[in-house]
Structure 1
Amino acid sequence: MKARTMFRHFKDSMRSLSRNGWMTFASVSAVTVTLLLVGVFVLIMMNLNKVADDLENDVEMKVFISLATEQEQLGQIETTIGDLPGVDEVTFSTKEEELTDLILDFGDELSLFEQSNPLFDVFYVRATEPQQTEQVAAQIAELENVEDVKYGEGKIQRLFTVLNTGRNVGLVLILALLFTAMFLISNTIRITIVARRHEIEIMKLVGATNWFVRIPFILEGMWLGILGSIIPIASVTLLYYNIDNYLQPRLSGQIFELLPFTPLVYQVGGLILLMGVFIGIWGSFMSIRKFLRV
């Protein structure tokens, strides 16, 4: 297609937006409301997914070493644990360090045990994949000089089940919302095309090809998607900026934190824009098909 013809199609599509003002307003409003809901929900689900990842990554095993173990054997035990399949990180903590942590957490009364420390030397172990914690713990428990392995048996599996269920439910809801958005927006665009069906029929009768008729409407759908994305992008950015400023200082140092303001808002903003453009083009393309049969 010639550049001059394409430029004419661009001019026609923008002229059509202004000529059909109320229909344009209705379409842009539908795109705006739907994409705003999608954008807010995507923000929520991305942060919930971050919280789930933080909780999973915080899971670790506490390996208690037998009191009869010689200090010279600890290095070999650490190497053996680190070489097990599925082990990502091993950190050693002496029983003196464990007692110091207990005193900090529960008070100076426990300092009486400094004379005769009853605690175990321990290794803190993280699995490469949090879901492998149970299998890795079972392997470690079979090693020589290992007294016990604690990792929240039973509770960990329930946590993983809840987190995976939450992810799956969130994905289904997002897909359902996107499908609803495409349905609503395509129907709104179809109404604008129905109102101009005579214009399409005349173009076909004077010999215009299907693509010559189709392109201005596709471009118009693209403009509707872009215009309908502006308010959702601005609203989502402003909303998350205020939430981030309010919650980030209060969550600092906690188990989980919000995703940083950037690049999250750029990612979500880009996603909203792409969805708006895609839905606008797709809605126009699908809606105009039956009117090309003249």
Structure 2
Amino acid sequence: MISRFFRHLIESLKSLKRNGWMTVAAVSTVMITLSLMAIFISVILNTAKLATDIENNVRVTVYLRKDTADNSERVIQEGQEVQNENYHKVYNALTNLSNVKSVTFSSKEEQLDKLVEVMGSDWKLYQGDANPLYDAYVVDTTAPEYVTSVADGAKSIEEVSEVEYGGANTKRIFALANIIRTWGLVGAGLLVFIAIFLISNTIRITIISRSREIQIMRLVGAKNGYIRGPFLLEGAWIGLIAAIIPAGLVYVLYDMAYQAFNPALAKQNLSMIVPDTFVPMMIAFIFVVGIIIGSIGSGISMRRYLKI
């Protein structure tokens, strides 16, 4: 059994060399197909990742009334500093709502600093007493789908001035994220099917050119399994060789894309998939798919010549 495997392995390597230009054509087709597949899947996976990040970044922002000092333990009354009886009244009401994960205070000064950072130094004019913003609580929910119900609960709190969470835009974001994940998987599956079709037809051309060789092997009594073995290994070799350049492209280009795009995304609390995780996974996927598709394509192409 082992000796037969190595014999088939050696024979498959000889066949690759013997059918030089046909091998080059098959490898080129598989290489282009795998490159397109790698690009498409990389885009789909990162788009789905960004959609999930956007979902998770949808938060409920609860703005407090101007006369509310919910985050101050002591307040000034009649010129004297006294204990604030309503300290954390809104905070406690928010944390008691169902499906609330965390509640974080954001002062109007912090919000103005973020505006200055994003919109430019012109907003510095509103520092100090001229600040028109409101103190707020940023509420994270246990899951994105609870944003609307938590926002409705926050609106019922007396000391709350306004509640923002995106409204209809949030629902559109959730719907878009689901569409991207669903159709991304469908598209990836379709591309794999197309790849098998293209590769099987390319390998079929090489097998047609060797149909006389197969007929002679059958005439001398060779069994189907013996005939099929070298061709399956040859298809696997074609897939393996063709995967080298797409894997190299993923290794180089993905890191470049990550360095170019991720800093801007990070400012919005978004991120592409980290290269240390994605690149090895994608390279392994390309090689495995290349070998499997090459073997499947060769097996499909051999069927008509092995029929009795």
TM normalised by structure 1 equals 0.85
Alpha-carbon distance in 2 for matches of 1:100, 1:268: 41
Question: How far is 1:12 from its partner?
Answer: 1.1
Contact 1:65 1:122 (C-alpha < 8 Å) held by counterparts: yes
Q: In structure 2, what residue type is equivalent to 1:111?
A: G
User: In structure 2, how many angstroms separate the alpha carbons of the residues matched to 1:152 and 1:159?
Assistant: 9
1:126 shift after superposition? 1.2
Deviation at 1:92, TM superposition (A): 2.8
Aligned with 2:197 (options 183, 190, 202):
183
Deviation at 1:179, TM superposition (A): 1.7
SS of match in other structure, 1:49: helix
Task: Determine the C-alpha separation between the residues in 1 that align with 2:31 and 2:172.
Answer: 39
Deviation of 1:133 (Å): 1.2
Whether 1:9 and 2:8 are equivalent positions in the alignment is yes
Alignment of 1:245-256 (within 5 A): 245-249=259-263, 251-256=265-270
Q: How many residue pairs end up in the alignment?
A: 287
Residue 198 of structure 1 corresponds to which residue in structure 2? 212
Matches of 1:119 and 1:144, distance apart in 2: 19
1:278 corresponds to 2:292: yes
1:81 aligns with 2:94: yes
Residues 78-227 of structure 1: matches in 2 within 5 Å?
A: 78-93=91-106, 97-99=107-109, 101-102=111-112, 105=115, 106-112=123-129, 121-142=135-156, 146-227=160-241
Q: Identify if the C-alpha distance between structure 1 residues 120 and 252 changes in structure 2 by more than 3 Å, giving closer, same or farther.
A: closer
Q: Deviations over 1:60-79 (max 9, x none)?
A: 10124565687555546545
Secondary structure of 2:138's counterpart equals strand
Q: Is the 8 A contact 1:103 1:109 kept in 2?
A: no
Change (3 A) 1:113 1:186: same
RMSD of aligned Cα (Å): 2.7
1:82 to 1:250, Cα distance in 2 relative to 1, 3 A: closer
Q: After superposition, give the CA deviation of every residue in 1:7-53 in whole Å (9 maximum; x if it has no partner).
A: 11111111111111121111101100110111111222222223222
Distance 1:234 1:113, change over 3 A: closer
Residues 74 and 14 of structure 1, relative CA distance in 2, 3 Å threshold: farther
Instruction: Give 3-state SS (helix, strand or coil) of 1:107's partner.
Output: helix
**Shift of residue 148 of structure 1?**
4.0
Contact 1:229 1:276 in 2 (8 A): yes
Cα offset, 1:80, TM superposition? 4.9
Tell me, which stretches of 5 or more residues in structure 2 are unaligned? 71-83, 116-122
| Native 8 Å contact 2:203 2:298 kept in 1 | yes
* Percent of residue pairs bearing the same amino acid type: 37
Alignment partner of 1:125: what SS?
strand
Length-normalised TM-score, structure 2: 0.81
